Amino acid sequence: MTALRIVAPGASCLVEDLGRPGLARLGVGRSGAADRGALALANRLVGNAEGAAGLEVLLGGFRAVAEADAWIAVTGARGPVLVDGVEASPAVAVRVPAGAELELRPAEHGLRYLVGVRGGIAVPEVLGSRSRDTLAGLGPDPVAAGDRLPIGPEPEAPVALLDREAAFAPVDGPVVLELVPGPRADWFTDAARALLFDTEWRTSAAADRVGTRLEGPVLDRLVAGELASEATVPGSMQVSTSGQPTILGPDRPVTGGYPVIAIVAPASLDRVAQLRPGQPVRFRHAR
Amino acid sequence: MSVRLLPSGPDAILVECGSQAEVLALHEALASDPPEGLVELVPAARTVLVAVDHRVLPLETAASWVRRAMQHGPAQHGGADVGSGSASSGGVASAPPVVLDASYDGEDLDDTARLLGIGAAELVARHLAAEWRVAFIGFAPGFAYLVSDDWPYRVPRLDAPRTRVPAGSLALADGYTGAYPRESPGGWRLIGRTEAVLWDEGADPPARLVPGARVRFREAGSSPGAGS
Summarised one tens digit per residue, pLDDT across range A168-195 is 899 999 999 999 999 999 999 999 999 9
- pLDDT of amino acid A287: 82
User: Which segment of A30-39, A74-83, A100-109, B76-85 scores lowest on mean pLDDT?
Assistant: B76-85
Handedness of CA B128, B130, B133, B139 (dihedral sign): negative
Question: Cα distance from A135 to chain B (closest Cα, Å)?
Answer: 9
- The CA–CA distances, whole Å, from A241 to A167, A219, A251, B36 equal 39, 9, 21, 38
- Both A8 and A135 in one domain: the answer is yes
Q: A163: pLDDT confidence band, cut at 50, 70 and 90? A: confident
| A17 in a structural domain | yes
CATH number at residue A269: 2.40.100.10
- Both A123 and A193 in one domain: the answer is no
- pLDDT of amino acid B223: 56
- The CA–CA distances, whole Å, from A39 to A6, A35, A56, B143, B151 equal 19, 7, 8, 31, 49
Which chain A residues are within 8 Å of B39, Cβ to Cβ? 21-22
The reply to whether residue B138 touches residue A182, judged by beta carbons under 8 angstroms, is: no
CB-CB contact of B91 with B24 (8 Å): no
Q: Which residue of A has its CA nearest to B207?
A: A26
- Both A143 and A264 in one domain: the answer is no
DSSP A62: E
- What range does the domain containing A131 cover? 3-150
| List of E strands, chain B | 4-7, 12-16, 38-43, 47-52, 98-103, 132-137, 144-147, 162-165, 169-173, 176-179, 184-186, 189-194, 214-219
Q: Is the pLDDT of residue A57 over 80?
A: yes
pLDDT tens column, A93-116 = 999 999 999 999 999 999 999 999
Assembly ipTM: 0.94
- Both A16 and A120 in one domain: the answer is yes
- Both A271 and A143 in one domain: the answer is no
Using CA atoms, how far apart are residues A238 and A235, in angstroms rounded to an integer?
9
What domains are there in chain B, each with its CATH number?
Answer: 4-72 (3.30.1360.40), 96-219 (2.40.100.10)
Using CA atoms, how far apart are residues A174 and B102, in angstroms rounded to an integer?
56
Which chain B residues are within 8 Å of A21, Cβ to Cβ? 39-40
CB-CB contact of B206 with B141 (8 Å): yes
Q: Is the pLDDT of residue A80 over 50?
A: yes
Across residues A254-264, what is the average pLDDT? Answer: 95
| A271 in a structural domain | yes
Strand partners, A8: A63
Handedness of CA A264, A265, A266, A267 (dihedral sign): negative
Question: Cα distance from B39 to chain A (closest Cα, Å)?
Answer: 5
- pLDDT of amino acid B111: 97
- pLDDT of amino acid B80: 36
Q: Is B24 exposed, middle or buried (0-12, 13-18, 19+ CB in 10 A)?
A: buried
Q: Which residue of B has its CA nearest to A135?
A: B140
Across residues A2-21, what is the average pLDDT? Answer: 98
- Both A8 and A146 in one domain: the answer is yes
Q: Quote the number of domains for chain A.
A: 2
Q: A280: pLDDT confidence band, cut at 50, 70 and 90? A: very high
Tell me what the pLDDT averaged over chain A comes to. Answer: 96
| A156 in a structural domain | no
Across residues A150-154, what is the average pLDDT? Answer: 97
Amino acid (1-letter code) at residue A221: R
- pLDDT of amino acid B84: 37
- Both A146 and A7 in one domain: the answer is yes
In which residue ranges of chain B is pLDDT below 70?
Answer: 73-90, 222-228
- pLDDT of amino acid A1: 83
- Both A10 and A53 in one domain: the answer is yes
CA torsion angle B33 B36 B37 B43 (round to 10)? 10
- Both A220 and A123 in one domain: the answer is no
- pLDDT of amino acid B90: 55
Question: To probe the interface with A, which of B5, B6, B188 has the most A CB atoms within 10 Å?
Answer: B6
Strand partners, A86: A83
User: What would the DSSP string read from start to end of A216-267?
Assistant: SS---BSS-SPPPPEE--TTEEEE-TTS-EEEE-TT--SEESS-EEEEE-HH
- Both A133 and A17 in one domain: the answer is yes
Q: In this structure, how many other beta carbons lie within 10 angstroms of the beta carbon of residue B20?
A: 20
- Both A127 and A234 in one domain: the answer is no
Q: In this structure, how many other beta carbons lie within 10 angstroms of the beta carbon of residue A11?
A: 12
| A155 in a structural domain | no
CB-CB contact of B49 with B41 (8 Å): yes
Q: Which of A115, A134, A150 is the last residue of a domain?
A: A150
The reply to whether residue B51 touches residue A254, judged by beta carbons under 8 angstroms, is: no
- Both A136 and A216 in one domain: the answer is no
The reply to whether residue B138 touches residue A254, judged by beta carbons under 8 angstroms, is: yes
